[in-house]
Amino acid sequence: MKLHLRIWRQASRQSEGSFVTYEADGLTPNMSFLEMLDVVNDRLTKEGQEPIAFEHDCREGICGSCAMAINGEPHGPNAGATTCQVYLRSFRDGQTLTVEPWRAKAFPVIKDLVADRSAFDRIIQSGGFVSVGTGQAPDANAIPIGKGIAEKAFDAAHCIGCGACVAACRNSSAMLFVAAKVSHLGLLPQGQTERKQRVQKMVVAMDAEGFGNCSNQYACEAVCPKEISVEMIARMNRDYAGAVVDQI
Amino acid sequence: MKLDARIPAGPLAEKWTRFKANVRLVSPANKRKYEVIVVGTGLAGASAAASLAELGYQVKSFCFQDSPRRAHSIAAQGGINAAKNYQNDGDSVRRLFQDTIKGGDFRSREANVHRLAEVSVNIIDQCVAQGVPFAREYGGMLANRSFGGAQVSRTFYARGATGQQLLLGAYQALSRQIGLGKVTMMPRHEMLDLVVEEGQAKGIVTRHLVTGELKTHAADAVLLCTGGYGNAYYLSTYARGSNVTATWRAHRRGALFSNPCFTQIHPTCIPVTGEYQSKLTLMSESLRNDGRCWVPKAKGEQRAAVAIPEGERDYFLERLYPSYGNLAPRDIASRAAKRVCDEGRGVGPTGLGVYLDFSEAIGRLGESTVRERYANLFAMYHEITGESAYESPMRIFPAVHYTMGGLWVDYHLMSNVPGLFVLGEANFSDHGANRLGASALMQGLADGYFVLPYTIGDYLSQQKPRGEKADGPAFQEAMGATQARTKKLLGVNGRKPVSEFHRKLGKTLWDTCGMSRTKKGLEEGLAILGGLREEFWKDVKVPGSGADLNQSLEKAGRVADFLELGELMCRDALEREESCGCHFREEHQTSDGECARKDAEHSYVSAWEFKGEGKPEVRHTEPLSFEELALATRSYK
């Protein structure tokens, strides 16, 4: 199997980037997309060229490191999957693939396909937690939590922080990411005490990072590798409005 | 060298309580005068950094990933053990302790393991308070499942992503401290050396992975929470970035490396399909709650799995180990799978695979219940293989998954280098020669939340705060050595990419120091590895410069360390003339092919000392004494 690749190369944060064409040959459909990049990189190394920089770590869809758009789609063509979970059987022999990093003001490109997503960490640092110190916890079964609520909280908590939602959004909005954390903690009894401050602080932090607003296109939901629902955004908006009204 | 594990006196069940009551403390007003460096942000590192900052210490946290949330603890699937006895099925701290010692084939320390079992219950409380969405029953109480090597249900879980949820809990606790200014977080920093000043660990050297800047950092104590070294095998369930560099560099600075040959091969992973393969994906042990392992009774069977009648199937784990069945411990299940494949009864295109079949469970519980329990695992399997495990059985094969070996630590989790503490998978302490499922998460969080915060005070209370100025000859020397090494890697300018050396190292270790080991094989392995290391330094090609993001340079440094470690793994395996847990020496087996332990000669922890470049390492031993549990032959039959 053979693929024509157009890959974004950019030497550093400051430099201009451009697409560079590579031919990848001798591939098999059971190879993963990232393994194909490994093969290309080994070839470039042998030829004395610098390999393509890209982020990846667990290669099983949970660490959230791998972040690239394939033919304009964040994480490529498969629903509910990260880039590392895309296998070449998803493409046609001879197909051209355009590969580029996340495009968003709040995620500046560092090199080639590597973008800086530290904005997400700063949003969590602003309030995405329950303030409970080590050793302060009551018995785990002291607070019953309905199965349905626990499942819903898990659905939100399953976010891997990859940033595909931002990359897919025409406004580069981080609403799905923020709403997932607001919902995860806001659904559970443990998160109630700080629920109102949390949503306000996180929204302020999100805005300060330069993410855009939500205009209900739902592109985020469509590309989310963990299939997190835009219902979370509605929940966050309700929480936020409630918190603001409470202050009046 | 005499190794003093500093185990407190008194009856086993009271040691930890007594220790806590008598440990020396640092007063609240003085804690902020002490700097602590924490390397790694997985379960052990994130929980330690957060807990120490809550106590008032000045904490600097480092990780090589772009965010602390991406540490590989995130990928743990199945669950976390705790002796809560919520199921009323007879569990207790004592039973968890016994299961863990037995699971580790009597090659771990009783006192450490008992403490682990004691604090296991606090971990679940802490995680629930943080908002970890564990699975629940309809009445709102926590649900449990069973894991290997236990006859009770004590495993807490969050679908097939327990590690993710626990790590995010610890990450959020850490994030809170970063937001409060109590932790300075340094992502995209890789530790490349340890600074030992007047015999004590006082700092580290790091490389900023984006700018390439090398820098020294000083502290009053250094915590290594940098995970295991299974990537030495190239193919493993580890993340691609997981590496041994932090612990290996500390080892070269004097920290003893214990039991390097104890590596866990997990029975249920998706089999290898081709040469290009970069990693192996685990299918959680929790699947063996409902999945049944089998191979055809006949050699060379060509029919599809579903076409093979019941009577022609060999459910080998149920046959060999009737009392534990499919939930036999990992080392035992892996060896059994290898054995049936060696007999020519393996399945799939390579013959290196066995079936993990859910049809009985689907018939008994209905597809929707099976889906609810394992949907994300079945989806992962489908993405990788293109096959549906609802319709035909999964094909699985053992793969490298965890390392029980690591830096030697005492009861305080301190290495033999004062001030250097080692937590989680990076130390050797709790799992002996085989780790039970759902015990890694337990140990990582126990060390970080509930052990180290107590033991570190005992050390720091005896130290004068050093101040964070990273100066003096020890820092200059470490910096110079790191600069020289980086330059050397970039300067070889050979022909082969790093991956070629890594693959060859991995294959050599898998063949000689894998599921089954022999004297002859290990000696051959050592010869190959010696040559490979020489070749690496003559012929590796690292393009680019050291002054920016250079992933080839990162990999080269890590593989150079793996090459040295690989030799130590083989030597350790060679000198342990017995079989125990994961370490199966073919020369030492019972008539039915089980491990033959040699307690009189080998009931010890090996601890290797680095003696300088090109010189053979020296092995020390810490004898293991079993006061509570009688040394017994492990049986799961």
Confidence tier at B162 by pLDDT (50, 70, 90): very high
Q: Give me the pLDDT at residue B497, please.
A: 97
Q: What's the complex ipTM?
A: 0.98
Q: pLDDT per residue over A110-147, tens digit each?
A: 999 999 999 999 999 999 999 999 999 999 999 999 99
Cβ-contact B414, B224 below 8 angstroms: no
Q: Give me the pLDDT at residue B148, please.
A: 87
Q: Which CATH number applies to B473-600: 3.50.40.10, 1.10.3720.10, 1.25.40.80, 1.20.58.100? A: 1.20.58.100
Confidence tier at B637 by pLDDT (50, 70, 90): confident
What are the structure tokens assigned to B481, written together? Answer: 């050595």
Domain ranges of chain B: 268-399, 473-600
Closest-CA distance of chain B to residue A216, Å = 28
Query: Residues 349 to 378 of B: which have CB under 8 A from any A CB?
Result: none
Inform me whether the pLDDT recorded for A248 exceeds 90: no
B354 residue type, one letter = V
Nearest Cα residue in chain A from B376: A226
Q: Give me the pLDDT at residue B301, please.
A: 92
Inform me whether the pLDDT recorded for B570 exceeds 90: yes
Q: pLDDT per residue over B474-509, tens digit each?
A: 999 999 999 999 999 999 999 999 999 999 999 999
Closest-CA distance of chain A to residue B473, Å = 35
Q: How far apart are CA B429 and CA A50, in angstroms?
A: 41
Q: Give me the pLDDT at residue B273, please.
A: 87
Least confident of B161-165, B209-213, B274-278, B622-626: B274-278
Q: How far apart are CA A118 and CA B82, in angstroms?
A: 34
Q: Does any CB of chain A come closer than 8 Å to the CB of residue B75?
A: yes
Q: pLDDT per residue over B190-241, tens digit each?
A: 999 999 999 999 999 999 999 999 999 999 999 999 999 999 999 999 999 9
Q: pLDDT per residue over A193-208, tens digit each?
A: 999 999 999 999 999 9
Domain ranges of chain A: 3-111, 118-247
Contact between chains at B136 and A146 (C-beta distance less than 8 A): yes
Inform me whether the pLDDT recorded for A51 exceeds 90: yes
Q: Average pLDDT, whole number, for chain B?
A: 96
Integer angstrom CA distances of residue A3 from A22, A24, A26: 9, 5, 9
Cβ-contact A181, B166 below 8 angstroms: no
Q: Give me the pLDDT at residue B621, please.
A: 97
Q: Give me the pLDDT at residue B372, please.
A: 83
Q: Give me the pLDDT at residue B160, please.
A: 87
Q: Which of B87, B127, B164, B503 to mutate to test the interface with A (most CBs of A within 10 A)?
A: B164
Q: How far apart are CA A94 and CA A129, in angstroms?
A: 47
Closest CB to A63: pick one of B75, B178, B541: B75
Q: Which residues of A29-42 are buried (b: 16+ CB within 10 A; e: fewer)?
A: ebbbbbbbbbbbbb
Q: How far apart are CA A92 and CA A83, in angstroms?
A: 17
Q: Does any CB of chain A come closer than 8 Å to the CB of residue B186?
A: no
Inform me whether the pLDDT recorded for A41 exceeds 90: yes
CATH of domain A3-111: 3.10.20.30
Contact between chains at B75 and A60 (C-beta distance less than 8 A): yes
Nearest Cα residue in chain B from A227: B376
Inform me whether the pLDDT recorded for B251 exceeds 90: yes
Q: Does any CB of chain A come closer than 8 Å to the CB of residue B453?
A: yes
Name which of B327, B299, B294, B326 is nearest B310 in CA terms: B294
CA dihedral over A62, A84, B401, B532, signed as positive or negative = negative
Inform me whether the pLDDT recorded for B132 exceeds 90: yes
Confidence tier at B634 by pLDDT (50, 70, 90): confident
CATH class for domain A118-247?
Answer: mainly alpha
CATH class for domain B268-399?
Answer: alpha beta
Closest-CA distance of chain A to residue B344, Å = 25
Q: Does any CB of chain A come closer than 8 Å to the CB of residue B67?
A: yes
Q: Which of A121, A192, A228 to mutate to test the interface with B (most CBs of B within 10 A)?
A: A121
Q: Give me the pLDDT at residue B274, please.
A: 85
Nearest Cα residue in chain A from B125: A140
Which residues in chain B have Cβ-Cβ distances shorter than 8 Å to A65?
A: 65-66, 70
pLDDT over 70 percentage in chain B: 100
Q: Give me the pLDDT at residue B635, please.
A: 86
Contact between chains at B548 and A12 (C-beta distance less than 8 A): yes
Secondary structure (DSSP) of B51-106: HHHHHT-EEEEE-SSSSGGGSGGGG--S-EE----TT-SS--HHHHHHHHHHHTTT
- Tell me, yes or no, if the pTM score tops 0.80: yes
Contact between chains at A140 and B84 (C-beta distance less than 8 A): yes
* Strands B313-314, B354-357: pairing kind: unpaired
Burial environment of residue B356 by CB neighbours within 10 A (0 to 12, 13 to 18, 19 or more): buried
Q: pLDDT per residue over B33-48, tens digit each?
A: 999 999 999 999 999 9
Contact between chains at B171 and A61 (C-beta distance less than 8 A): no
For residue B52, the Cα-to-chain-centroid distance in whole angstroms is 23
Q: Give me the pLDDT at residue B291, please.
A: 96
Which residues in chain A have Cβ-Cβ distances shorter than 8 Å to B72?
A: 57-58, 63
Taking residues B90-109, report their average pLDDT.
97
Which residues in chain B have Cβ-Cβ distances shorter than 8 Å to A157?
A: 131-133, 158, 165, 168
Closest-CA distance of chain B to residue A93, Å = 18
Closest-CA distance of chain B to residue A210, Å = 19
Inform me whether the pLDDT recorded for B376 exceeds 90: no
Q: pLDDT per residue over B111-128, tens digit each?
A: 999 999 999 999 999 999
Q: Give me the pLDDT at residue B115, please.
A: 98
Q: pLDDT per residue over B609-627, tens digit each?
A: 999 988 999 999 999 999 9
Integer angstrom CA distances of residue B630 from A17, B599, B637: 67, 11, 19
Strand partners, B81: B155
Contact between chains at B128 and A137 (C-beta distance less than 8 A): yes
pLDDT over 90 percentage in chain B: 93
Taking residues A53-57, report their average pLDDT.
98
Q: pLDDT per residue over B414-469, tens digit each?
A: 999 999 999 999 999 999 999 999 999 999 999 999 999 999 999 999 999 998 78
Q: At what angle do helices B551-575 and B473-491 cross, to 10 degrees?
A: 100
Q: Give me the pLDDT at residue B409, please.
A: 98
Closest-CA distance of chain B to residue A3, Å = 16
Which residues in chain A have Cβ-Cβ distances shorter than 8 Å to B278?
A: 32, 34-35, 38, 59
Q: Does any CB of chain A come closer than 8 Å to the CB of residue B243?
A: no
A106 residue type, one letter = A
Cβ-contact B169, B132 below 8 angstroms: yes
Q: Does any CB of chain A come closer than 8 Å to the CB of residue B519?
A: no
Q: Give me the pLDDT at residue B468, please.
A: 78
Cβ-contact B120, B144 below 8 angstroms: no
Q: Does any CB of chain A come closer than 8 Å to the CB of residue B289?
A: no
